[in-house]
Amino acid sequence: MMSKYHSTPTEVNGIRFDSKREANRWAELRLLERAGKIEKLKRQVKYLLIPSQYRDGKCIEREASYIADFVYVKDGHLVVEDCKGFRTPEYKIKRKLMLQLYDIRLVET
């Protein structure tokens, strides 16, 4: 079934990906890791952008977070990567918050 952004969820080796693009990029990154070009490859890494807001012990606003498609180290530097087919307004705000809060500039593929 296609998503509202026309991506097709894909499963590879028992791992579910939101799109074929993301699945293909994972395969590329795994090859780069095996070749020693990158290290510490992870997927679906969560970054807290705004914590939950509470009033009188009750949650009035849930947290806002960004979930990176891939995170790895290349040449000693942390790389946070997002497979993007479409840049939503929500994504653009989260991209800016990642830079502001974590000094991380997202790499879009």
Strand partners, 79: 72
3-state secondary structure of 12: strand
Strand partners, 46: 67
Specify the pTM. Answer: 0.85
Q: HSE, CB side, 13 Å, CA atoms: give it for residue 34.
A: 6
Q: Where are the domains of the chain?
A: 38-108
pLDDT tens-digit map of 4-25: 556 778 888 888 998 899 999 9
Where residue 2 falls among pLDDT bands split at 50, 70, 90?
very low
| Interatomic CA distance for residues 109 and 106, integer angstroms | 10
